[in-house]
Homo-oligomer: A and B are copies of this chain.
Amino acid sequence: MTDKRRRRLPRSVREQEIIDAALHVFSKRGYHAAVVDEIAELAGISKPMVYLYLGSKEGLFVACVRRESERLVAAFREAAQAGDSPERRLWAGLSAFFAFVAEHRGSWVVLHRQSPGQGEAIAEELAAARRSVMAEVTGLVRDGITEGGGAVQLGDQDADFVAHALVGAADSLTDWMELHPEQAPGGVTLRLMNMVWVGMRNVLAGEVWAPPHDE
C-alpha cells in the first residue's frame, strides 16, 4: 500500500481501482445493499470522483460485470487454447473455469448470485454476461464430448444442457468447498469431471438409465 494521499493516477488506472473496490463491495453486499460511499472509501477517493469516472451506481455495477465476465471468458479461452485436442481443450477449459469460480469468489458472486429484478439495465447486462460465459462452455463441451466420446455427435441443445449442468454444479460446489477447506480445487474439478464425464461417455455410448417402475 503506497501513500494514498494525493496520488495523480492516469485515468485508466484509477478506473480499475474503482472497479476493484466496487467488485469487492458488490460481491459482499449485493447490488442494492452496497453503498457507494463504501466503494469510494475503499478506492481511496471521494464520491464525486466515482461518479465522474463511472457515472452512476448502475454504471459501477455494469463495469464490474463487464470486466469480470471478460476476465472469466479470457481465462477460459486461454486455458483452452493450450490443449491440442478437443478433449484436452475441454479439460483445460473446465479446469480454468472451475479455478476461476473457486478463486475469484467476488467476481463469480457478482456474475451469478445477484437477485433478479435490480432494474432493466442491470438485468440485461447480467443476462448478456451469463450468455457469453455459457456460450464458451457450450462450445468447448460440444467439441470435446463429440470427439472425445467417439463417433457420437452432440447437438447444440445437448451441449448447452451439459454446459448449464456443469456451470450450476461448479457454482454449487464452491459452497461444498467452503465446508471442506481441506479439499484442493483441482481435486474437486477432477471429481466433478469424472462424474459427468464418464456418465456422458457411457450415455452417448448407449448405456441409458431409466427410472425403475414398480412392477
Contacts and interface: CB of A to CB of B under 8 A. Distances in A.
Contacts of A91: 211-212
Contacts of A209: 193-194, 197-198
A128 interface: no
Interface in A107-143: 109, 113-118, 130
A46 interface: no
A176 B161 contact: yes
Interface stretch (A2-10, A28-36, A69-77): A28-36
Interface string A67-96: 000000000000000011101100100010
A100 B118 CA distance: 24
Given A169-B169, A190-B211, A196-B199, A115 B31 contact: yes
B180 A118 contact: no
Q: How many copies does the complex hold?
A: 4
Nearest to A130: B175
Contacts of A95: 211
Interface residues on A, range: 35 or more
Given A33-B118, A199-B200, A212-B87, A165 B192 contact: yes
Contacts of A197: 199, 209
Contacts of A30: 30, 32, 114-118
Interface string A160-175: 1110111111111101
Contacts of A167: 172
Interface string A96-111: 0000000000000100
Given A88-B214, A195-B200, 5 more contacts: A30-B30, A31-B33, A162-B195, A169-B169, A195-B196
11 contacts: A31-B115, A83-B214, A113-B115, A114-B115, A162-B195, A164-B172, A164-B173, A165-B172, A168-B168, A168-B170, A199-B202
